[in-house]
Amino acid sequence: MTIPENMLYPRTGDKETIYLKNAISNPNIIVGDFTMYNDFVNDPTLFEKNNVLYHYPINQDKLVIGKFCSIACGAKFLFNSANHTLSSLSTYPFPLFFEEWNLEKKAVTQAWDNKGDIIVGNDVWIGYETVILAGVHIGDGAVIGTRAVVTKDVPPYTIVGGVPAKPIKKRFPEKTISMLLDMQWWNWSNDKIAHSIKAIQAGKIDKLQ
């Protein structure tokens, strides 16, 4: 399952919506096929600059986003270098200014707490101006509400919202969620997905077996 190579704008005449995978150059940002980003404020092709923040190469942390995700305007992914370490007696990032304080350059990452990569599953909807913090894992099929601040992992097919984001409800009964996770329709062939779109949109999982 792939999108046409180098296809950036999937909608004729729409320069606000892109297939995000084809706008990424940073090897530490990995995006799945058909995941889209819409931005009506800034150029959506500047996603790496405007939306992936404090993502410094020295830390080697990763942003991984699955297939068929929908990312709304202004969503932000806030990485480890935004964190000031809390284990120190001071939150001031002395290691960043290693030259002035005669510290070792290789110790610069001691200025922040490293909470790990940001992992977003498949078929995830990330709402307008959401903020997702370092170390968070978001499960397949989850929905992140407008302007939520996601500080903890989000289970599959769970709707969360608020500051900090908290579960609101499950999208489907547990049996349906289990079937969807086993089915992984996002890994089907283009032809099979195209044949199944009506059933997917109608919520008729029994028609997908």
Domain containing 122 — which CATH number?
2.160.10.10
Domain that residue 199 falls in: 172-209
pTM for this prediction? 0.94
Give the mean pLDDT of 125-148: 98
Does residue 5 form part of some domain? no
Does residue 11 form part of some domain? no
| Chain segment 14-72, per-residue pLDDT in tens | 999 999 999 999 999 999 999 999 999 999 999 999 999 999 999 999 999 999 999 99
Q: Structurally, how many domains does the chain consist of?
A: 2
Query: Do 117 and 38 reside in the same domain of the chain?
Result: yes
Q: Rounded CA gap, 62 and 59, in Å?
A: 9
User: 205 in helix, strand or coil?
Assistant: helix
**Residues marked as catalytic:** 84
Q: Rounded CA gap, 94 and 88, in Å?
A: 10
Cβ neighbors of 166 (< 8 A, separation 6 or more) are 160
| Chain segment 65-116, per-residue pLDDT in tens | 999 999 999 999 999 999 999 999 999 999 999 999 999 988 899 999 999 9
Query: Do 46 and 93 reside in the same domain of the chain?
Result: yes
Give the mean pLDDT of 172-201: 95
Share of the chain above pLDDT 70, in %: 97
Confidence of residue 1 (pLDDT cuts 50, 70, 90): low
pLDDT attached to residue 205: 93
pLDDT attached to residue 2: 63
Confidence of residue 5 (pLDDT cuts 50, 70, 90): low
Query: Do 201 and 166 reside in the same domain of the chain?
Result: no
Confidence of residue 6 (pLDDT cuts 50, 70, 90): confident
Does residue 196 form part of some domain? yes
Nearest residue to 171 via CA among 142, 149, 151, 192: 142
What does pLDDT average to over the chain? Answer: 95
Structure-token pair, residue 127:
């709402």
pLDDT attached to residue 91: 93
